[in-house]
Structure 1
């Protein structure tokens, strides 16, 4: 006996490592976030997120065709309206930009899973996720508008609605409204655990949704709290959520693991905008190997318990897999 264990025996060469590998990610795990902008012709790159674009409907159709060719199973849509008002009416208009994009995607690629972000922040001048009254974000009035938005997305053909607003009771309100309108098969992916994070900066540029005053700490979660995440998720499960999400991803892998152990529902991680932009900036400087970092990050989400991952790297990751399969 050597007096110590030789763990390296299973690391000696690639095929040995493959045999004992515990976790893996694949293209089937990826959801690609897409920004559609009302009134835009073509597409425009988002400055803070190299390689990510605002799409007009014409360019969006081409983008969806490419995603289908790459085998990416799902997208999540974010809309940027031409007009904003106090009641966020562009969020739930029948001809709203998200509603038009859902119809276009499902008409041309019916097997693509179309998820929609359900929130009000892009649609009102205050840039907050709920109705604003006297400088406060009011909860119960917001639920009515969120439910109307979700129903309008379902009517357009969305497979999954994903409320990201963090108002109390929004999952119950949306489930009740969907069922009342006959959309019993439309699933709810709840942003159950969404922290008031500094990692959303580039997204707010992308979605034109920065708050006009204050911040979102009165409704998004305190980054210091982990036990609270279990309470939030439990409430959403009780209210009828079909799947749960943790956002952001990397700083909250411990929370992701806690939810995985506590709930049997499908679980998602959102690999958010600043996480994407930091990788892009470091890669541009030559400080990191982008592909290796991204693949390790996706693996970390799977190891922590995610069933699927919302990531702006989805297209690149799918292309890497496709290129490798040709060798």
Structure 2
């Protein structure tokens, strides 16, 4: 009974966490486009929840005038603000700051498009909420920005991580695991690229619901294997990983669409975002395998843990599935 009580308390804790973290926190987005010499249109997209909008705003040097041109528009997950920015000089060699960013856990993606075709991209964070805009854009800064966005997206994409965790649990043998993770990577890279480039599109809410359903499916497969019944996933995990990976790629693409891609550097931004996703996924796999090894060495009797894991995974995924269907 004591063991059952511990499991019950753990499940209650998990549900408390997922009720808050069911959707990852997405970055704010600041797009600045030069319309005529030293005159810029500014789009400021700020994340919101049901009852709260982040109190953050862009600040430019005093030699620039920022004027609101369109009333704020409230969307499902964001509030859009539209401004005109004007000054006597170029934005180059000036400082951009995001006020109150250090009081949040949110990043800000900044894209600046100039009349001469140059494009600047920066990622501002709570620990570094300002940037000095250089005269010449750096392709390495763009690559760093979208790589970091990719890493952050996968590490805060709890549904994707839970799917990968389920694959780790059901896949036995290093070679089979390597093939499985590679198949998942290849599949979601394909649909991420195709969707981001506009060749294929699926509506976001159904995709998110089916992603949760894919985790429920894997949890059920794990339970069947533990009961001594071989399944398709236990025999060919790479096939299941590839099939569901195609679906997960649309989830990544939806997040990237919310973030935005620089008009003049879409291939580089898309490639480095995908690299960031893979790096984040690799980090998670290494940490998860390390925890598996550690628990094996410090907890001799693990049978009850093995039996509990798929129920926890399935319960969390079922919670997400119901929540996402209700939100249609």
Report the structure, 1 or 2, having the larger helix content.
2
Same fold (TM over 0.5): no
Question: TM-score if structure 2 supplies the norm length?
Answer: 0.29
Question: TM-score if structure 1 supplies the norm length?
Answer: 0.29
Larger Rg: 1 or 2?
Answer: 2
